[in-house]
A and B are shown apart, each in its own frame.
Chain A
Amino acid sequence: MDIFLQQLINGIVLGSIYSLVALGYTLVYGIMGLINFAHGDIVMVGAMVAFTVIHLLSGSGLPMFLIAGIGILAAILVCMAVGYLIEKVAYRPLRGAPRLAPLITAIGVSMLLQNLAMMIWGRGYLSFPALLPAISIPVAGAGISAVQILIVCASAAMMSGLSFLVKKTKLGNAMRATAQNREVATLMGVNANAIISITFIIGSALAAVAGVMVSAYYGVAHYDMGFILGLKAFTAAVLGGIGNIEGAMLGGLLLGIIESMGAGYLGAITGGVMGSNY
């Protein structure tokens, strides 16, 4: 099997997940100048909710794609609600406070979500059901699985949808105006509070999908899966220039490819001194 191509494919798949999560960071940062540290945990909540719903329905005899669809939908709805609530309760009262104050509440929210999840779903790894049959399509010595194709296509679709939303719609205009200058936007009749809420809701929906994707890809879900994923996605967002939507997508892809190339080659290049754990 061609390692290079395989790692490239894996990297792109991983990267598109990172991109989705990174978009959440970037959207929120662009509008509020806030690093939403709890974003990664929203990803986790998405994965967990989807897990529970799919698990409950798996005995119902419904076809798998329908169950998966319901699971994803539930995850999206729950995450939207969680995102909305977080903004309303933990961030909104701190507008105009010292800039690090909301960072600390974000850390608090992150702890809260993680530990709530631990109490609800336990500390063990949950094995996530396979949403698609484990087929692999051979491509020039490498393989692409159905899940991988779905992940890349779905992320691409969501990202172009988001681009369209932000660039071409009235809502997107209002979002960009709020990001530029909240006060002036408010004077121009934009309801900045509503726009900020909507931004959180959109970001959380993306996070939910990313959560389901990442769990379906690796086959597990875990209460602290969001932390590292969030960190990587945040790095991706910064890499692409935080606050910049295309940048986040690119940064995510780049990071994913670097990571999987690193995993594939670093050990060999450095003669085992630096293993894949870097």
Chain B
Amino acid sequence: MTKVLKWALLASILAILPFLTDFAFGKTWVRILDFALLYAMLALGLNIVVGFAGLLDLGYVAFFAVGAYFYALLASPHFGLHLPFWLLLPAGAFVAGLFGVLLGAPTLRLRGDYLAIVTLGFGEIIRIFLNNLNAPYNITGGPQGINLIDPIKLGSFALNHPVGGSIPSVYNYYYLFLILALLAAFVSKRLQYSRIGRAWVAIREDEIAAEAMGINTRNTKLLAFAMGASFGGLSGGLFAGFEGFVSPESFTLMESIMILCMVVLGGMGHVRGVILGAILLSIVPEALRYVGPLQESLFGKVYADPSSLRMLIFGLALILVMLLRPAGLWPSPTRKRELSAQGETAKHENDGVYDAGR
């Protein structure tokens, strides 16, 4: 019974959260919540690749970009196409998944750090293409990106309109993103405790042994890439519909790194931990925007450039959290057990490969 109560409490908190946030901090913060949920989906996707299968992907944002541009191109005046979102979101996830396979296929023989650099390059290639495919034919809109993207519509109701003139649009997106993020978490969990999930972890632990046990490591890794990428593609479509415009600037390497930080800082391989990481890392930098005004009220004048101070504190926080909790803020129970066996880890350190999973 207490369990039901706990869930009911959590559900009602999530349901009224935007109202509370709006009341306490204003609409900007509801928007930040929306983004936090979007990042949670992205982080859950990357978690499949890095956390479950142990493949270090530094170009994950590419799949986010693919999803976003897929939506933007087919639902904006850019080509005069206005396909419905319920078609575009799954199709975008699928296309991103294909890109995942496309990236995965040639790189699967690589291990650890080599994979990291290739995925990083892939991410950059996608961004540079988006940036430059405006000539001789204007496909992606170049650095300006694509504008006036259709909002997500449920029936005839566009989510960018307030409900009944009183509930603002950021609320609509909040609920949509919340449902989808929960769905992503649910799917992650189901995958984790399945035959495929076990195969991923086995590959992370020892690829040679996994192969010897009859796991087709190539296909299984491709599947991880495709699944992770499709989460990214889905989030990308949502992002495009939510923002109304996309440009290559949103898909930089820094973004990939941030998502990776969310996964690792939260607790790699642990669904709840990853969500926590995503929410913290999308909220903290925003909260740190107040360091400027805070300086003013404390000292009467702004001493340090607020934006750099903000990122400085953020960097410091990353370091401190990892030093204090090397397995992440909320590691999975098994991972905690692993760390309690610290002495033995030293033995594995000399394995020589930069395995993401270890």
Name A's B-contacting residues (CB within 8 A): 29, 33-35, 89-90, 93-105, 107-112, 114-116, 118-119, 123, 181-183, 231, 234-235, 238, 242, 272-275, 277-278
Contact = CB atoms under 8 A, between A and B. Distances in A.
B355 A111 contact: no
Given A119-B312, A238-B113, A99 B322 contact: no
Contacts of A181: 350
B346 interface: yes
Given A104-B322, A182-B350, A114 B311 contact: yes
A235 B122 CA distance: 13
Interface in B278-315: 304-305, 308-309, 311-312, 314-315
A112 B113 contact: no
Nearest to B253: A231
A84 to B, nearest CB: 16
A181 B350 CA distance: 6
Interface in B110-145: 113-114, 116-117, 120-121, 128, 131-132, 135-136
Contacts of A115: 308-309, 311-312, 315
Contacts of A34: 354
Given A95-B349, A242-B114, 13 more contacts: A33-B352, A96-B346, A98-B268, A100-B56, A101-B327, A102-B322, A105-B319, A105-B323, A108-B322, A112-B315, A119-B304, A231-B253, A235-B117
Contacts, number: 127
A111 B113 contact: no
A183 B318 contact: no
Interface of B: 50, 56, 113-114, 116-117, 120-121, 128, 131-132, 135-136, 253, 257, 260-261, 264-265, 268, 304-305, 308-309, 311-312, 314-319, 322-323, 326-327, 335, 339, 342, 345-346, 349-350, 352-358
Nearest to A238: B117
B331 to A, nearest CB: 9
Contacts of B311: 111, 114-115
Given A111-B314, A274-B132, A277-B128, A35 B327 contact: no
A234 to B, nearest CB: 7
B264 A101 contact: yes
B289 to A, nearest CB: 14
A31 B122 CA distance: 28
Given A90-B323, A94-B322, A99 B309 contact: no
Q: Which 8 A-B pairs have the closest CB atoms?
A: A111-B315, A108-B318, A97-B326, A108-B319, A115-B312, A112-B315, A115-B308, A118-B308
Identify the interface centre among A93, A111, A231, A277: most chain B CB within 10 Å of its CB.
A111
A119 B257 contact: no
A98 B114 contact: no
Contact of A107 (B309, B318, B323): B318
